[in-house]
Every structure is written in C-alpha cells, then in structure tokens.
Amino acid sequence: MTETHKRVIAILGSTGSIGVQTLQVVEEHPECFEIYAITANEKVDELIEQARKFLPEVVVIANETKYEQLKEALKDLPIKVYGGYEAICQVVQSQPIDIVVTALVGFAGLRPTIEAIKAGKAIALANKETMVVAGELINELAMKHQTPILPVDSEHSAIFQCLAGERDNKVEKLILTASGGPFRTFSKEQLANVTKEQALKHPNWSMGAKITIDSASMMNKGLEVIEAKWLFGIEPSKIEVVVHPQSVIHSMVQFTDGAVKAQLGTPDMRLPIMYALSYPTRLSSTFERLDFSTIKEFTFETPDIERFPNLQLAYHALTMGGNMPCVLNAANEVCVAAFLAERIKFTEMSRLIERALQSSDYQLKPTLDNLIATDSATRRMVEGWI
C-alpha cells in the first residue's frame, strides 16, 4: 500500500457486525482507505447514519420497500442511492473499487462475490458461505481474473498470517481452533433443551445472530473447515480442529519439519479485517493488546462429535464434494432461521441437515446454475420437514 493511493472499498453488509467493524478500521486509517459503496439488507436507519458519516459514492438497500426512505434521507447529499439485490451485484463492478468486503450473511453473498471477481476486484472474504457453497468455482474465477481472495475469518486470517513468507514450504496440516461455544460442557440431554437466548450468548466473540448460532452448534467450525480447503488448497484429511476455549490462538499451521506456527491475539475482528484490507502491509492500531500476565492457562480439547455432529457432517459433505457442501449450507441456513424463530429445537438442526445430505441428488461438478437450483431445492425440502 502506498501513501499516494488509498484503497477504495465497497462493504457489502455494512450494518452487520463485520461491516461496522470494517468502518471502524477505515476510521482508524483514513489516510489508507476510502469508502466507495456501502450496502445493507434491512437496517435502513443504520445505513443512513453510516452514509452521512462516511459520504460514499453509492449506497444500496437490498430490501426495495425501504428504498424511498433511504433516498429521501440522503437527498441533500451527492450520493447515488439504489434498491434491490441486483443493484448490489452491479455496484461491486464499479471502476474505482479496489477491494470488496463481502460481509453479507449466507448464500446471498455468492452472486455479488462472483460479479466482483469478474470485474477484477480483490475480495476481503467475510462471507464464508460463498466458499462453502462454491469454493471450486470461486477459485477458478479468481485464477482467471487474477484477483486475490483475502480471508477475514479470524481462523483463516491466522493461517494466512502463519503462511506469510513460507513460499513453497510444505504444510503438513492446518489446525483450526474453536472456542467450543456456550455449550461446550453441556450433556446431550442439556443440549436438547437449550434456548435461543442461551445460544446467542457466545463466551468470547461478539458476532451476528447466524454465526453465533453456528458457533454454538459447531457448524461454524464445519463451514470453516470447508472454507480452509478452498482458501488454502489443502485436503480435508490435513485439516484438524482443536477446541481452545480461551480463543487466544486463532489457528495454527504445522509444516513438514514438525514446526508449528500460531497467530495469537485478543478476540477482536478488527485485526483480521485490517490485515485483509492492508495486506501485505501491517498497519498500526490502537486495539487492545494481549496481556500475558492475565492469561492463566491455554487448554486444548478434541471436539466431541457425539454431542456436536455438525462438524462430522461438514467433513462428510466436503469429502463427497460436488453440490453436497451447498446442500449442507442451505439446510443449515433454514435450520438456524427456524431455531431462531423457535420452530425447532437445537439438536433437531443436525438431524435435519443429515437428512438433507442423504435425501439430495448428488452432482459431481455443479455449475453456478446447478448450485442455485440445489440451494433452493434444499431450502424447500427442509422447510417442508419443519
């Protein structure tokens, strides 16, 4: 990064947890970054406030019924205002943008990410579902358009940082750390009766609702294993998950000589966000530092797949490949929404996801259209069961 050229950023999902923290990073380094576009799904009031503060060129609200309100609120400013999901897919292609932060939730991240890659934009990937559903396609496109995909997920950022400078040195395995979530010590019986309020209380990280439920069910780690495969081109058998309840080690890489490198830090997403935006440069920050005098212990456990079958289901989907990770993801999105609406119990989620994997038609090399069809067919099917 040079002082003369600011990185021009589009944030998809600017009112979500990652979006808000990305704006904080930009505020911390206004000399390095400039906001070109921000988009939100629903939260129009927050979006208006952000737009008035950061004065981007373009603002998009996906929910078109809120477009008039947005347009009216920003009419005194020289900001282009659009409504609808298609507008997001178009705005990411705008010429001035250097890097697109994909912080939308779920399958909705896929198409805008593809359009951004096709337009040659670097991707700061905060939407892991995109890589889960279509990792192979995304990698092919990124290769063709010579554009980098930079991880924002803290585990993948940790691995990315551990790999810096290693060039062709061979990796023996990636070790993804997991906090274990709020139910790490719960019995199977206790898990069956947990409430959504309990599930939404993550012990270490503050995040959006969908990922917090995914963390409680260990599906988040399952999705991250799949994400790691595609980001780092490594076989599933070489990706290990270890539960590390303190969430200080964000992940590790073991090399063929036996050396293990780890990246440590406070659980603050602004660091991985900033690293993705400024890569390969490290910028200074005022974020809280680790204080080793207050860290009493580092502990590690093997994940319990009896109590948390989602991790196993994700490995299974990944090993099968093709459209199965897409089935896994769609079934999970429907289940998480149903759990948040208190329509199903916590432990029912895994059962429904497993059933979806068993009941879906397998496609070895799905196209984008196949994946879109798989996603909607899976959603319909799982909705039908609920």
Q: Which residues sit at the interface with Mg ion, rule CB under 5 A? A: 153-155
Q: How far is the CB of 153 from Mg ion (least distance, A)?
A: 4
**Minimum distance from residue 21 beta carbon to Mg ion (Å):** 13
Q: What is the DSSP letter of 107?
A: G
- For residue 224, the minimal CB distance to Mg ion (Å) is 6
Q: Which residues pair with 252 in a beta bridge?
A: 175, 262
Residue nearest to Mg ion (CB): 153
The number of C-alpha atoms within 13 Å of 374 and in the hemisphere containing its C-beta is 28
Single-letter amino acid code for the residue at 203 = P
Nearest residue (CB) to Mg ion, 22 versus 154: 154
Question: Please, which residue, 34 or 214, has the CB nearer to Mg ion?
Answer: 214
**CB nearer Mg ion, residue 115 or residue 155:** 155
User: Could you tell me the smallest distance in angstroms from the CB atom of residue 269 to Mg ion?
Assistant: 9
**Can you point out the beta strands (E) in the chain?**
7-12, 33-40, 58-61, 80-83, 99-102, 122-125, 149-151, 171-178, 239-243, 249-255, 260-264
Encode 323-352: b = buried (16+ Cβ within 10 Å), e = exposed: bbbbbbbbbbbbbbbbbbeeebebbbbbeb
Supply the minimum distance, in Å, between the C-beta of residue 225 and Mg ion: 11
Q: Which residues contact 76 (CB under 8 A, 6 or more apart)?
A: none
For Mg ion, the closer CB: 113 or 247: 247
Task: Name the residue among 78, 76, 32 with its Cα closest to residue 59.
Answer: 78
Judged by CB, which is closer to Mg ion: 154, or 323?
Answer: 154
- Cis check: omega of the bond before 280, within 30 degrees of 0: yes
Q: Which of 19, 17, 63, 21 is nearest to 37 (CA)?
A: 19
Alpha-carbon radius of gyration of the chain? 20
Least distance (Å) from Mg ion to the CB of residue 205? 8
Instruction: Give the whole-angstrom CA distance, residue 127 versus residue 105.
Output: 6
- Least gap, CB of 125 to Mg ion (angstroms): 11
Residue among 113 and 157 whose Cβ is closer to Mg ion: 157
Report in angstroms how near the CB of residue 328 gets to Mg ion at its nearest.
17
Closest CA to 300 of 242, 384, 257, 356: 242
Cβ closest to Mg ion, residue 155 vs residue 333? 155
**246/370 with CB nearer Mg ion:** 246
Are the C-beta atoms of residues 275 and 161 closer than 8 Å to each other?
yes
